[in-house]
Chains A and B, each alone.
Chain A
Amino acid sequence: MRSWDSMEDFEAFLDGGGLVEPDDDMPDAYRQAVFRFIELHANSEYMGGLTERDWIAKAPGLTNKLTALAKTQDEIGHAHLLYMVAADMGVKTRDEMTADLLAGRTTFHNVFHYRAYSWGDQIAIAYLVDAAALASQQAVFKNCSYGPYKRILRRIIAEEGFHMRNGEELLLKMAKGTQQQHDMMQEGLDRWWWPAVQLFGPDSPPNDVLLRWHIKSERNEVLRDRFVQKMVPQLQAAGFTIPDPDLHQDPDTGRWVSGEIDWEALKAAIAGRGPDSERRLRDARNAWDGASWVRDALDEAAAVPA
């Protein structure tokens, strides 16, 4: 078992590009911080998978239903992988993490505290939210000091890339569609622009341990700004507007500058007081309880001698 004499030694190891493995005697503060980060990611993939599942039946046409099915498998699959990596850190078992999520004791990303009403919402999620999530995950992957998380992120990022491309494809189809489709898409963008921007979080604190310990590689505000610079021209070129009346281009730098961001909305959502938090959690609990017969059957099958 590898161990470090002091936090200075451990941080020097991380600064030198060292990868921490589950058997290492890592400082407890690092273990807790990395665990909480992965648990939040796992919870978010799980809740995202349940949202996606709702659209298997509702998506228009067979191709879109098949894509929704594949995306549901991907998101639930990501949750599986991440819960395994988190459980191996020895802080909580997988069952404890599930119980905490369903009881509202742990958190998941703000974007899964809002309701998707229409197919336009669903495309806006695929286009904006998946792109925002992918940008955050790529920034973690780049410099991630926890070995199992870095290795599993490679796979997750590849699959989120499919989702983002699918979102862009659907958005452009809507842009070229009827007036009704265009309006439906614009309504979706109006509902999801701000939650997606807020997903990056407020500016990183000056001494963020997640940055110091090489979990995050970029400050929140840098990733958020990069997202705005990329998305605004794309959406405008497709003929859509951004629901931010104060959005403007800096005359000197040409960069897009957002209006004021409502961080209270982010805090409320994450605390479980978002517009759809209650229904989402109830839905997750029902899904978990409704599948208990499957888990019981698996356990009973395993108990029968071969």
Chain B
Amino acid sequence: MKTYEVFLKRAGKDPFTHVGALEAPDDDLALSFARDCYARRSEGEQMWVVAREDLLVADPTELEMADRAHRHNDGTFLRDLRQAGSAEPT
């Protein structure tokens, strides 16, 4: 048995979303089981089924490190500037 991950795209502009996993002996049956388990009520208009062993998985701690303050302009400078400006006599 192999483990597969299942992704569904609901409709239109929706992104593909991970909906769960399943076990199947081969790819054809994985697609069939995925329909039975995850799309019995037209939950999506497109489906991806991917063998778990083929997924490349990033280390979540490395993703946290990518969150640097200098990449987010939080507007502090502009806010302070505007506040200073409005305090001045016109």
Residue ranges of A at the interface with B (Cβ–Cβ < 8 Å) = 1-2, 21, 23, 70, 73-74, 77, 80-81, 84-85, 88, 94, 148, 151-152, 155, 298-299, 301-302
A94 to B36, CA, bound (A): 19
Known contacts A23-B60, A84-B3, A84-B23; 9 additional CB pairs below 8 A are A1-B60, A73-B36, A81-B37, A94-B23, A151-B18, A151-B20, A155-B19, A301-B25, A302-B25
What is the minimal beta-carbon distance from A306 to any residue of chain B, in angstroms?
8
Please list the 3 inter-chain residue pairs (A to B) with the smallest Cβ-Cβ separation, ordered nearest first: A302-B25, A302-B26, A84-B21
Chain B 1-42 near chain A by CB (<8 Å), digits 1 or 0? 001000000000000001111110110010000001110100
Residues in B neighbouring A74, C-beta threshold 8 A: 40
Q: Are A81 and B25 in contact (CB under 8 A)?
A: no
A111 to B61, CA, bound (A): 44
Q: How many A-B residue pairs have CB under 8 A?
A: 45
Residues in A neighbouring B59, C-beta threshold 8 A: 1
What is the minimal beta-carbon distance from A246 to any residue of chain B, in angstroms?
43
Q: Are A84 and B22 in contact (CB under 8 A)?
A: yes
The A contact surface, by secondary structure, is helix
The interface on chain B, measured as residues whose beta carbon lies within 8 A of the other chain's beta carbons, has a size of: 18
Q: Are B61 and A298 in contact (CB under 8 A)?
A: no
A152 to B20, CA, bound (A): 7
What is the minimal beta-carbon distance from A152 to any residue of chain B, in angstroms?
6
A23 to B20, CA, bound (A): 15
Residue of B nearest to A24 (CB): B60
Most buried by B among A73, A80, A148: A80
A291 to B10, CA, bound (A): 34
Residues in B neighbouring A23, C-beta threshold 8 A: 57, 60
13 A-B interface contacts by CB (under 8 A): A1-B59, A1-B61, A73-B36, A73-B40, A80-B22, A151-B19, A151-B20, A155-B19, A298-B25, A298-B29, A301-B26, A301-B29, A302-B29
A302 to B30, CA, bound (A): 11
A77 in contact with B40 given A1-B61, A301-B25, A302-B25 (CB within 8 Å): yes
A94 to B21, CA, bound (A): 13
- From A1, A2, A81, A301, give the contact of B20 (CB < 8 A): A81
Q: Are B21 and A77 in contact (CB under 8 A)?
A: no
Residue of A nearest to B21 (CB): A84
Q: Are A2 and B40 in contact (CB under 8 A)?
A: no
A148 to B3, CA, bound (A): 15
- From A1, A70, A80, A148, give the contact of B37 (CB < 8 A): A80
A85 to B36, CA, bound (A): 17
A81 to B4, CA, bound (A): 12
What is the minimal beta-carbon distance from B21 to any residue of chain A, in angstroms?
5
What is the minimal beta-carbon distance from B37 to any residue of chain A, in angstroms?
5
A2 in contact with B36 given A84-B23, A301-B25 (CB within 8 Å): no
- From A88, A298, A301, give the contact of B21 (CB < 8 A): A88
A94 to B2, CA, bound (A): 12
B46-65 CB contacts (< 8 Å) to partner A: 57, 59-61
A2 in contact with B60 given A80-B22, A84-B21, A84-B22 (CB within 8 Å): yes
